[in-house]
Amino acid sequence: MAFAELEIDASQIAGLARTFELAKARAPKAISRAIARTGAMTKTQVVRSLTAQTGLNRQVIVRAVKAKPGLMSYALLSRGGDVSLKYFGARETRRGVSAAPWNHRQVFAGTFIKGGRFPKRVPLPFGGQVMARTGSSRLPIAKRKSGLFIPKEMVSGATAAAFLKTVNTVLPVRLQHELQAILGGHAPT
């Protein structure tokens, strides 16, 4: 399981010190609400970015990325192994199966989804999985994987940048908003 480290620049929140002083006992509730709202917005951005970065369907990414909101925290978690080629828009050609991991279409030579001779090929009972022979004879065969791991992709590249950008821009604004709501709209800016 992969985890990301989050750093927030304290200078962004320093202007809120006087507001925290006025809010006192009600500040933790405002902080919790701001974190929850920022976390939900961040999850949306992470799902969008991860969909574009990996080439997987949005539904697969939504199922893979789980939110774990807490009282004063919000975590995005994902686990899983090597994703099968089946999930990257796999389609069979004469040279092998064409699939698009990392949003880059390529042909995986020697792989197949169907059995029989061209043009009368029939579906195999493997649920659309991309298969490849593991030896020089007809059998045994094994499922072919892509080499893409969702947790690893979640903490790298454009997805990590989208996460940090969203948190750094949205959290201070949401925190100010929630504190103003607690103070009846009269918080100093």
Mean pLDDT score of the chain: 86
Select from 188, 169, 166 the least CA-distant residue to 179. 188
Query: What pairs with residue 82 in β-bridges?
Result: 149
What value does the mean pLDDT take over residues 24-28? 77
pLDDT of residue 6: 45
pLDDT of residue 11: 58
Q: Which residue has the higher pLDDT, 163 or 8?
A: 163
Assess whether the previous peptide bond of 151 is cis (omega < 30° from 0): no
pLDDT of residue 179: 82
pLDDT of residue 5: 46
Tell whether the model's pLDDT for residue 182 goes beyond 90: no
User: Three-state SS for 123?
Assistant: strand
For residue range 97-153, what is the model confidence (pLDDT) as tens digits?
999 999 999 999 999 999 988 788 899 999 999 999 998 888 899 999 999 999 999
Dihedrals phi, psi of 2, to nearest 5 degrees: -105, 145
Unique residue bearing structure tokens 């030896």: 135
**42 contacts 167 by C-beta, under 8 angstroms:** yes
pLDDT of residue 188: 53
Total-model pTM: 0.79
pLDDT of residue 85: 95
Token duo for residue 47: 């799902």
pLDDT of residue 82: 93
Instruction: Output the DSSP codes for 46-91.
Output: HHHHHHHHH---HHHHHHHEEEEE-SS-EEEEE---EEEGGGGT-E
User: Three-state SS for 159?
Assistant: helix
For residue range 56-97, what is the model confidence (pLDDT) as tens digits?
999 999 999 999 998 888 999 998 889 999 999 999 998 999
Angle at 169 between CA 33 and CA 39, to 5 degrees: 35
What value does the mean pLDDT take over residues 22-49? 88
